[in-house]
Structure 1
Amino acid sequence: MHIKYVALGEQKLSDSEKKRLRNWYAELQRLNVVLEYDPNIPPTLHMSTGGWRYVPRADSDEGLVIRVNEHARMTDEAYEYLRFPEKWPEA
């Protein structure tokens, strides 16, 4: 949903999607975490497919919503799409 918001704008999100996305941004900030991808991460209660987990934010995360690691192939465009937005969708 984050990438949809960044790519298409909030007018393409439903009201419930806007609310969920705002809540997700708030949780990322409150907990000071980012998403990390690693195909070896097993499924959990909140990540039923596995491969993802929340990890403490580090200075190296540079305002992104994800952790850049050997499993995250990043391009200039990916950095733009995965940056924490300055403006959140209106709920």
Structure 2
Amino acid sequence: DVTTSGKSIEETHPIIKAQADVEIKGLVVSLNRMEKGKGETSALDEINATYGIPTTAIVTMKEVEEYLYNKEVNGTVIIDDAMKKAIDDYYAVYGAK
């Protein structure tokens, strides 16, 4: 999964719990977009606080940005200075604190 707001776990947690007496041990997402959940903290932090489920991501958007910044692939720079500024501006507004 990719975590943006945490909405998918809000929808699936009760479904999983209703199927059997199961204990959810944790949540691993492929990409943490590092956006605010309902408050100022990240959706993964909110999931942990709300459900008591340990959470982690394979990679964060910040790591993707750092890896691709000024990196050329097939002759094209994936994240140039203008794109990096746009990403940074976006996270200044929507990024978790």
TM norm structure 1: 0.32
Structure index of larger Rg: 2
- Higher share in helix: 2
TM norm structure 2: 0.31
Higher RCO, Cα 8 Å, sep 6+ = 1
